[in-house]
Structure 1
């Protein structure tokens, strides 16, 4: 019996399809190859040539049926072989799924990179050659859900972590015919290889002790070990949750937020010198230098009642804002602020601003998860974060 033997490299074929302008030629070749592949599959099952009478025969050929398949270069018509007993089922579409999903991934990438659903719909129509609805695009995007779920729930036991940055941002979501605010919780860590790693995110209600506690409990359940330092802003619920969930782990108050809090209550005019000294406190090389600069600032302004509130804030928060001095000096610029995770927030905000209001919480989780998943792959190949 004559059989066809060949191996398809679907990833390579996908690359060729996406980069080729000869759509009709490529489509014709693809149809020929796929039809031949399925024919060979059926030949193997039947185990006999056409009309051949043999005890080895396992089935009888029974023609074909047609099926359309949408691929990045358009829609192709395939001839699917059949057997009389209906037992034949091609494995091609399972093997071809990576190719079949490139259209879905194109849509996902477009949305993740800030293209509106309406524009994505038009893009799909131009590629696939047929009209699609917004709901079609949305439903196709849901195919990413299992991957995001696996990534967001993955075990964190493979690495140990030196530093943990946590922050929250707010988005708008439609809920019960109203537009409400939801908090997006994000955790980014520096692992034992000195590389950044996005270790967790969730979309929940507004910031609170309970919400942060649940977020940290999830990290714990996935195997996240105690870091050497946790860096965040001074949100009351966040602080209390950190103390409760991470016993004996020091907390670093973000110095950018801390400085902003003090500058906001300072006189606006003729305070350049005072502001300069205040900022230099957290750029000092050692804790002793920082204390000296703090004392210098207080001596300079303590006789001015307009600065009393600034002095009170500085005294109250100095200890928490200088925990980074306990760690290597080369790490200071990275761990005294939440700038690293703020950059992640900006990437989300850039995409989210196109949508403005999410239709529901699931769609928010999907888009933000897709953005973070994409960013996490970039972080994996980045150079060492702590230099």
Structure 2
């Protein structure tokens, strides 16, 4: 291991594996770190929202900031939204994750809640619960690195 990881991407991938003549689902936990010089720690972890990741990270690295992958937040949101509303909800979420600062994002999230809270409360709650983690503490170039787990998703494609 390196001494410092500026950003760590964590994700899971499920595979069908034949064991003893039976096909079973198996999970692979993947971690990719972007390193720097310094003391041993993780500065930012970009995760897919799998239950337990945040707690496990904080147990080992209590000062690590965790950012939920926005792509995974969309996927989770769309589980609770009829297909006919997805385009409009996507448009309405854009001012949140593309806001120039936290205050603007919070205002956009309030507007999103006003519009969709009564008809799609779970979709709104997903964003309220998982939004303000590390994202707005950093400049736009860093935000581009941490808003998605795509770097590790590309590793999944290579495994398949």
Select the structure that is richer in helix.
1
Q: Give SS of 2:41's match.
A: coil
1:242 aligns with 2:57: yes
Select the structure that is richer in strand.
2
d(CA) in 2 for partners of 1:270, 1:256: 17
Which residue in the other structure is 2:120 paired with?
Answer: 307
Shift in alpha-carbon separation, 1:251–1:272, aligned structure 2, 3 A: same
d(CA) in 1 for partners of 2:35, 2:4: 6
How far does residue 270 in structure 1 lie from its aligned partner after superposition?
5.1
User: Where do residues 149-298 of structure 1 align in structure 2 (5 Å cutoff)?
Assistant: 156-157=1-2, 159-192=3-36, 225-269=40-84, 272-298=87-113
Report if aligned partners of 2:13, 2:28 keep a CA contact under 8 Å in 1: yes
The TM-score with structure 2 as length reference comes to 0.85
Report if aligned partners of 1:263, 1:275 keep a CA contact under 8 Å in 2: no
Shift in alpha-carbon separation, 1:178–1:307, aligned structure 2, 3 A: closer
Cα deviations by residue, 1:241-289 (Å, 9 ceiling, x for unpaired): 2222221211111111112211221233256433202133112222122
Aligned residues between the structures: 159
Q: Give SS of 1:228's match.
A: strand
The TM-score with structure 1 as length reference comes to 0.38
1:335 aligns with 2:141: no
d(CA) in 2 for partners of 1:183, 1:287: 35
Cα deviations by residue, 1:61-99 (Å, 9 ceiling, x for unpaired): xxxxxxxxxxxxxxxxxxxxxxxxxxxxxxxxxxxxxxx
Which residue in the other structure is 2:135 paired with?
Answer: 324
Which residue in the other structure is 1:200 paired with?
Answer: none
d(CA) in 1 for partners of 2:99, 2:139: 13
Structure 2: unaligned runs, 5 residues or longer? none
Report if aligned partners of 2:11, 2:31 keep a CA contact under 8 Å in 1: yes
Cα deviations by residue, 1:343-366 (Å, 9 ceiling, x for unpaired): 1111222xxxxxxxxxxxxxxxxx
Q: Give SS of 1:231's match.
A: strand
Report if aligned partners of 2:43, 2:63 keep a CA contact under 8 Å in 1: no
Cα deviations by residue, 1:178-218 (Å, 9 ceiling, x for unpaired): 3322222221111128xxxxxxxxxxxxxxxxxxxxxxxxx
Which residue in the other structure is 1:104 paired with?
Answer: none
How far does residue 164 in structure 1 lie from its aligned partner after superposition?
0.5
d(CA) in 2 for partners of 1:262, 1:271: 9
d(CA) in 1 for partners of 2:88, 2:16: 41
Structure 1: unaligned runs, 5 residues or longer? 1-155, 194-223, 350-387
d(CA) in 2 for partners of 1:255, 1:181: 26
Q: Highest CA radius of gyration, 1 or 2?
A: 1
d(CA) in 2 for partners of 1:257, 1:225: 28
User: Where do residues 71-82 of structure 1 align in structure 2 (5 Å cutoff)?
Assistant: none
Q: Stretches of 4+ moved more than 4 A in 1?
A: none
Shift in alpha-carbon separation, 1:309–1:162, aligned structure 2, 3 A: same
